[in-house]
Amino acid sequence: MHSREMDDFRKISEHDNVAIALRVLQPETKLSIDGADITINNTIGFGHKFALSNIKRGELIIKYGETIGRATEDIKRGDHVHTHNLVSMRGRRIA
């Protein structure tokens, strides 16, 4: 069964390449976003982010339509996006 956006997740800006889980999403959960299907790959906690597209290492992560950091590894559509694969570009010795 496909999930409905307002209950299960939120994409804040049309430019975003991540969305927020509004309930715990289990692996294999299928979502429909902007007419395309996404399968969740990991457990995504409440409020946590998952990728809406494949994102290559070094590419920017966009939320609120603005840059929130850079991918530190290749991220697949449906992957959990958090501190293990996303790094800040501000206030760092090595940006």
Judged by CB under 8 A, the residue of 33, 42, 59, 68 near other proteins is 68
Binding to other proteins in span 24-43, by CB under 8 A? none
Closest Cα partner for 83 from 95, 94, 68? 68
The reply to whether 63 sits near other proteins by the rule CB under 8 A is: yes
Nearest CB to other proteins, comparing residues 33 and 87: 87
Judged by CB under 8 A, the residue of 2, 3, 12, 59 near other proteins is 12
Judged by CB under 8 A, the residue of 33, 42, 48, 53 near other proteins is 48
The reply to whether 14 sits near other proteins by the rule CB under 8 A is: no
